[in-house]
């Protein structure tokens, strides 16, 4: 097998800490005939992904870098995770999560779908839907999304 111009991507785990709202930044992403992957860093001042939803076409994992998070699945026990702990969410599994600490929650998210790198519009290719099967955007009113307000000079790194 030859390289054929395929280049590795490097990234840095750094994001502004927030006083309000949330952020989601794609750090690296690839797609090929053999599959796809994206790496993102997320920050939540409060809340989380507040309503049950699933990604029909994307397995993904979250690793807590700072703070604590509570993950919920219907008919399952609550899973509370702290620093350097993670969870893998299979495609099709309903879940939601929330911040469980006073400090901002910072997560590393890795998924097996291509997403555009920071600054570009998100791709709707992971099949995100609500409990009734309807399309459900991350910024949907039902998901209680709000744009992040950075704390001046404060970063996770």
Query: At a CB cut-off of 8 Å and minimum separation 6, what does 37 contact?
Result: 29, 30, 110, 111, 112, 113, 114
22, two tokens: 């949330």
Is 153 contained in some domain?
A: no
Number of domains in the chain: 1
Q: Is residue 141 in a domain?
A: no
Residue ranges with strand state E in the chain:
15-20, 22-32, 35-44, 48-55, 60-66, 69-72, 79-81, 86-89, 95-99, 105-111, 128-129, 149-156
| Residues 93, 75: Cα–Cα separation, whole Å | 12
The CATH number of residue 132's host domain is 2.60.120.10
- Residue 38, in any domain of the structure: yes
151 within a domain of the structure (yes/no): no
**Three-class secondary structure of residue 109 per DSSP:** strand
Residue 150 included in any domain: no
49 vs 38: CA distance, rounded Å? 18
Confirm whether 72 is domain-assigned: yes
**pLDDT in the model for residue 119:** 56
State pTM to two decimals: 0.89
Query: Each residue's pLDDT tens digit in the chain (157 positions)?
Result: 455 567 899 999 999 999 999 999 999 999 888 888 999 999 999 888 878 999 988 999 999 999 999 999 999 999 999 999 999 999 999 999 999 999 999 999 999 988 877 655 555 666 778 888 888 777 666 777 778 999 999 999 9
pLDDT of residue 81: 98
Residue 99, domain member (yes or no): yes
- Give the CA distances from residue 125 to residues 31, 111, 147, in Å, rounded to whole numbers and listed in that order: 12, 11, 22
Domain that holds residue 56: 15-114+125-136
In a domain, 93, yes or no: yes
């Amino acid at each position: 097998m030859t390289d054929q111009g395929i280049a590795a991507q490097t990234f840095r785990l750094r994001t502004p800490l927030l006083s309000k709202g949330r952020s989601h930044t794609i750090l690296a992403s690839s797609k090929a005939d053999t599959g796809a992957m994206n790496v993102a860093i997320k920050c939540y001042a409060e809340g989380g992904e507040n309503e049950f939803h699933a990604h029909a076409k994307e397995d993904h994992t979250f690793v807590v870098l700072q703070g604590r998070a509570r993950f919920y699945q219907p008919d399952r026990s609550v899973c509370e995770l702290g620093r350097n702990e993670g969870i893998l969410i299979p495609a099709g599994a309903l879940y939601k999560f929330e911040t469980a600490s006073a400090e901002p929650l910072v997560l590393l998210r890795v998924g097996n779908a291509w997403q555009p790198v920071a600054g570009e519009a998100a791709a709707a290719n992971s099949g995100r839907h609500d409990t009734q099967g309807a399309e459900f955007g991350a910024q949907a009113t039902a998901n209680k999304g709000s744009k992040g307000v950075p704390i001046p000079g404060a970063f996770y790194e």
